[in-house]
Amino acid sequence: MGKKVFILGSSGFIGSWLLKRFSSGSLYRAVGCSSADCDLLSPDSVRKALSSVAPDDVMVVLSCITRLKENSHASLVKNVRMACNLAGFLEAHPVSQLIYFSTVDVYGLIPEGMVISESLQPNPDDYYALSKLAGEFILKRALSGSQAAFLSLRLSGVYGPGDGGKSTVGALLSSLARTGKIKVFGDGRDTRDFVFVDDACKLVEDAIRHKTSGVVNVATGKSRSIAEIANLVLSLAGRGFAVEFLPPPAGAGKRQRCMEFDISMFRRLFPGFAFMDLKAGLALCMNKAAAKK
């Protein structure tokens, strides 16, 4: 078989989907690396876990301490250390391509009415976003002396079966399943752009096929308000359910109200790529959840 694809963070939500995709009928051989297999905080663990890496292999980096787990100075330091340890390995063992999962949160709070594009100057406003921006810089710099392609996928938001209710979409579906109500905190006018998890995996496959490089925001280009998404869920759930608007949690702090994306760069790098329609993705999530009952 041809090149290997090392998936760092293969036990996480996106990583597990990616590992499954590459393990069934793909042209590439997937090598899943969870934190138990490859502790990025330990240079020795990195060297041992990645000892079979070859120059024509691909590395997909999802590993990090997420905002939901911890968003502090300590988690920032750990995420930067993980990137540095991996960078040290890559400087001695470069791969043909590295695909890094980042976030649009690197832009910080965007003024109302401004469309988000890659030309915006990053301005992270929390530890997690800063750690992702630092990871982009560190890993790209580590490969600068080689012929490796570096691609950073700045995700707008990902949802799908198995997200554990951690995404906004997942939280809406989870509240419906638990209480029979779709709970929305705030007035529901905030807009977001969500990508179905398998689409994110298809992007990785396309990027490897074409050895795509660059920094790109991953968004469908069609933002919807939280209230609109809740009503889509309601239309699929049928009668007997309702949307409940609740005050924002105490201490919620500043939040991005509206997120609209210019996806011109995405279209240039991934011409013809078709995202799953949000309603179809919601229906798939709900059907999967119903099948498990």
The predicted structure's pLDDT at residue 250: 65
At 187, the pLDDT band (50, 70, 90 cuts) reads confident
- Single-letter amino acid, residue 39: D
Going by their DSSP bridges, the two strands 149-155 and 214-218 should be labelled as: parallel
Residue 258: pLDDT over 80: yes
76 phi/psi in degrees, rounded to 5: -60, -50
Measured distance CA(91)–CA(269) in Å, rounded: 26
Q: Contact 193/183 with Cβ under 8 angstroms? A: no
Mean of pLDDT values over 228-236 = 92
CATH top class, domain 4-157+194-218: alpha beta
Residue 253: pLDDT over 60: no
Mean of pLDDT values over 251-271 = 85
Residue 252: pLDDT over 80: no
Mean of pLDDT values over 4-21 = 95
3-state helix, strand, coil in the chain (%, to 5): 40, 20, 40
Q: Note the pLDDT tens digit of each residue in 96-108.
A: 999 999 999 999 9
- Cross-strand pairs, 33: 8
Residues 6+ apart with CB under 8 A from 80: 131, 134, 135, 138
Look up tokens 């279209």; give the residue.
267
DSSP state, residue 23: T
**Mean residue pLDDT across the chain:** 92
The predicted structure's pLDDT at residue 14: 96
The predicted structure's pLDDT at residue 246: 84
Per-domain residue ranges for the chain?
4-157+194-218, 164-192+222-254+277-292
The predicted structure's pLDDT at residue 33: 95
Q: Contact 213/33 with Cβ under 8 angstroms? A: no
State the architecture of 164-192+222-254+277-292 in CATH terms.
Alpha-Beta Complex (3.90)
Q: Note the pLDDT tens digit of each residue in 75-98.
A: 999 999 999 999 999 999 999 999
